[in-house]
Amino acid sequence: MATKAKKSSKSLTHSVYVVELDRKVWTDSWKFRSANSHYKGIAGCLYVGMTSHTPKERFEKHLTGYRNKKGIKISSYYVEKYGKYLRPSLYAPLNPMTRARAKTIEQTLAESLKKRGYAVWWN
- Percent of the chain scoring above 70 in pLDDT: 93
Number of structural domains in the chain: 1
Residue 3 lies in a domain: no
Residue 16 lies in a domain: no
Residue 4 lies in a domain: no
Residue 57 lies in a domain: yes
pTM above 0.75, yes or no: yes
User: Helix, strand, coil proportions of the chain in percent (round to 5)?
Assistant: 40, 20, 40
Contacts 24+ apart (CB under 8 A), 37-43: 38/114, 38/117, 39/117, 39/118, 39/119, 40/117, 42/117, 43/116, 43/117, 43/118, 43/119
Mean pLDDT over 85-106 rounds to: 97
Q: Tens digit of pLDDT for each residue in 1-11?
A: 454 445 555 79
Q: Which of 3-12, 73-82, 109-118 has the least mean pLDDT?
A: 3-12
Residue 71 lies in a domain: yes
Closest CA to 101 of 10, 5, 1: 10
Residue 10 lies in a domain: no
Q: Which of 37-41, 64-68, 110-114 has the least mean pLDDT?
A: 64-68
Residue 73 is classified by DSSP as B
Domain region containing 104:
21-122
Residue 85 pLDDT grade (very low, low, confident, very high; cuts 50, 70, 90)? very high
pLDDT score of 9: 52
Q: CA-based diameter of the chain, in Å?
A: 65
Question: Is the pLDDT reported for residue 113 higher than 80?
Answer: yes
Residue type, 66: Y
Residue 100 lies in a domain: yes
